[in-house]
Amino acid sequence: MSIDPRTMSQIIQVQIRPSLDPQSAGNSLNAKDESGAPSLFETVLSQYQSSSIDPELASELAANPLALLAGLPPVLRSASAEPASGTGQYEGLIAAAAAKYGVDPALIRGVIRTESGFKADAVSSAGAKGLMQLMDATARSLGVTDSLDPGQNIEGGTKYLSYLLRKYNGNEQVALAAYNAGPGRVDRLGISTDAELAANLYKLPEETQRYVTKVQQATY
């Protein structure tokens, strides 16, 4: 999909990180203000429709607001979705862990975006800590002594993700489900391939069902 450079600056200002669901009420792509004024997405789409855009593309954009980002160069797409203090300061740690454990750095970033939003001091209500949200017992088993240390946490989380990818023979969606729900829960359902996960996804917690999709959407 090709996007007119004249409208790129408007698109880049759209903040989609509050929710990966384009229909969410809090998503600024679709949100109207209290006066009922059109959202930014509606304004940009209107400009597209009034130009020479392909009708099929206009329909696609109307149905899928996230498609707007697909036409942006990677650097602009990343800038539109990350806070100023986002990935940059952790890129070295991500690259090192990716190389050490053979995991795609984009997948590591996707897990971090979904788990902690690149907040090194994030602590969940369940007690998961740091960028990839390690539980204390899991962290200890991975050799992590301080889960709030970004270097230790990213290495430990990547080591665990690498283990899950090997365990499930590279079936990425199964590995992600196990990262969220635990491998024991996945194994009890007899799930070992992405096809088996798709057939049995409804048996897993709703959080896990959403998690797999969110991470894959956040992987870039």
Which bin fits 39, alpha (ψ -120 to 50), beta or left (φ > 0)?
beta
DSSP string, 1-55: ----HHHHHHHHT---TT-S-TT-TT-TTT---TT-PPPHHHHHHHHHHTTT--H
**Active-site residue identified among 42, 60, 82, 115:** 115
Here the tokens at position 154 are: 């990213």
Based on the residue annotation, tell me whether 196 is a catalytic residue of this protein.
no
Measured CA to CA, the distance from residue 113 to residue 79 in angstroms comes to: 13
Compute CA distances 164 → 92, 136, 169, 183, whole Å: 23, 18, 8, 8
Known catalytic residues are 115
